[in-house]
Structure 1
Amino acid sequence: MESKVSKTKVSVVTPVYNAEKYLRKTIDSVINQTIGFENIEYLLIDDCSTDSSRDILFKEGNV
């Protein structure tokens, strides 16, 4: 009997605070890992950024 446990192999948590300059590169780096994005749980946590980091997160989240 196959278990219903998630098949996620890696969880990645990225805290974000005024990181607009590096955020897209960081996100792309995680997405393009060789284990495949389907094996990654990716959490990006914004800590009240005052730059456009939040806008980038919402835009990237709609991929």
Structure 2
Amino acid sequence: MAIRDRGMKKWQFAFGHLELIKGQQDLWRDQERIAKPIVDPYELEEFNQRIAYAMEYNLAVIITI
């Protein structure tokens, strides 16, 4: 008795499944994103002054995002 193979039909869902997983990962990644905070000009100027002061006196600066 010969084995009847379905050919590419048995792999169709597996190939589509990869696209579903990637789409789901992209959706989760988008949901975890945090909107950028709005920095007013006074805060921006304060940041610039602190960086300039640190550069002038060779001080270490830690910048976190």
TM-score normalised per structure 2: 0.27
TM-score normalised per structure 1: 0.27
Greater fraction of residues in helix: 2
Greater fraction of residues in strand: 1
Larger Cα Rg: Structure 1 or Structure 2?
2
Which one has more relative contact order, counting CA pairs under 8 Å at least 6 apart? 1
